[in-house]
């Protein structure tokens, strides 16, 4: 059985956005199991987020759920005010060790049918929200900290109806590349983890036989990905063992479209 001192993130602090369910929830729980105190962000699902925070606390670490609209810079700034209070309560000192930018929105629509409002919302949350979350985190991040952005397989595999979404994730990957050297002098790494098709409530097509079959036919590993698969990849990048990775994208797709 592991002791607290043997946990790789013991005493560390983390902030995971979009963590009320799915991949974000799995990431938050995995970091907590590794010993980190974890603040989670939610958009509208307050009850679900509070339940995740309560589950994290049963693991012997501290947690709080912080609501914020990540498409709004003012809302992001307010979330960090609440995060500061949590960090002081959790460790007695300011400073954040791990930021995971998981929150995102998706729109399935052809280029002809994509509205300006849909396009703006995609870039507001998936790109602008990440940029300003990192801007707020920058003065708070401890030496040797970690920034992990959640991208998408859609940046390297064309999928009908995902042009605008894929463009937003492509921008995110470029942002990661550009920011890596900005933080390197402080030993802070900036990376992407790129999931393939993961079985969550949002991916309803995986609930149908045809959808599951299509995914399995495109993957080297013959099973449908789970949120925990991505959480484990993030935990590696966020750990000491991930210290030599920065400015890169870790493909966590089960060998999709090789």
pLDDT value of position 216: 78
The 10s digit of each residue's pLDDT in 17-56 is 999 999 999 999 999 999 999 999 999 999 999 999 999 9
The tokens 């007695």 sit on which residue? 92
d(CA 213, CA 215): 5
Give pLDDT, residue 5: 52
pLDDT digits (tens, 9 = 90+) for 237-255: 999 999 999 999 999 999 9
**Which whole-number Å values give the CA distances from 17 to 68, 130, 175, 212, in the listed order?**
9, 9, 17, 28
Are residues 24 and 16 in contact, defined by beta-carbon separation less than 8 angstroms? yes
Q: Are the C-beta atoms of residues 164 and 119 closer than 8 Å to each other?
A: yes
Q: What is the pLDDT of residue 207?
A: 72
Please indicate whether residue 165 is annotated as part of the active site.
yes
Structural tokens at position 103: 């929150």
Q: What's the pLDDT score for residue 218?
A: 82
Q: Are 35 and 11 in contact (CB under 8 A)?
A: yes
Closest residue by Cα to residue 35 from 51, 68, 12, 69: 12
Confidence at residue 217, expressed as pLDDT on a 0 to 100 scale: 82
pLDDT at position 2 is: 45
For 52, 202, 235, 257, the CA distances from 78, given in Å and listed in that order, are 21, 28, 27, 41
Residues of the chain with pLDDT below 70 are 1-5, 205-206
- Tell me the domains of the chain and their CATH numbers: 4-200+227-248 (3.40.50.720)
Whole-angstrom Cα distance, residue 41 to residue 16?
6
Catalytic residue among 15, 80, 165, 183: 165
> Residue 241, SS3?
helix
Listed residue (56, 1, 67) closest to 32, CA to CA: 56
Cα–Cα distances in angstroms (integers) from residue 113 to residues 16, 35, 120, 174, in the given order: 32, 46, 14, 26
Which has the closest alpha carbon to 34: 62, 6, 15? 6
What pLDDT is attached to residue 224?
Answer: 84
């Amino acid at each position: 059985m592991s002791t607290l001192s043997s946990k790789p993130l013991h005493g560390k602090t983390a902030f995971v956005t979009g963590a009320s369910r799915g991949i974000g929830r799995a990431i938050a729980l995995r970091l907590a199991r590794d010993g980190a105190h974890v603040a989670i962000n939610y958009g509208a699902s307050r009850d679900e987020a509070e339940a995740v925070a309560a589950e994290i606390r049963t693991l012997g670490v501290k947690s709080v759920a912080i609501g914020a609209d990540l498409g709004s810079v003012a809302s992001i700034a307010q979330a960090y005010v609440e995060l500061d209070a949590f960090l002081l309560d959790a460790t007695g000192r300011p400073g954040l060790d791990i930021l995971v930018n998981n929150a995102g929105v998706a729109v399935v629509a052809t280029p002809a049918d994509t509205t300006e409002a849909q396009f703006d919302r995609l870039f507001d949350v998936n790109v602008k929200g990440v940029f300003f979350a990192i801007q707020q985190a920058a003065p708070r991040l401890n030496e040797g900290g970690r920034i992990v952005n959640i991208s998408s397989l859609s940046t390297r595999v064309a999928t009908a109806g995902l042009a605008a979404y894929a463009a937003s994730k492509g921008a995110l990957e470029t942002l990661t590349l550009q920011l890596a050297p900005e933080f390197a002098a402080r030993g802070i790494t900036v990376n992407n983890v790129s999931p393939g098709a993961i079985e969550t409530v949002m991916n309803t097509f995986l609930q149908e036989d045809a959808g599951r079959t299509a995914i399995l036919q495109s993957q080297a590993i013959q099973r449908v990905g789970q949120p925990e698969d991505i959480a484990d990849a993030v935990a590696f990048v966020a750990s000491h063992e991930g210290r030599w990775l920065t400015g890169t994208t870790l493909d966590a797709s089960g060998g999709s479209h090789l």
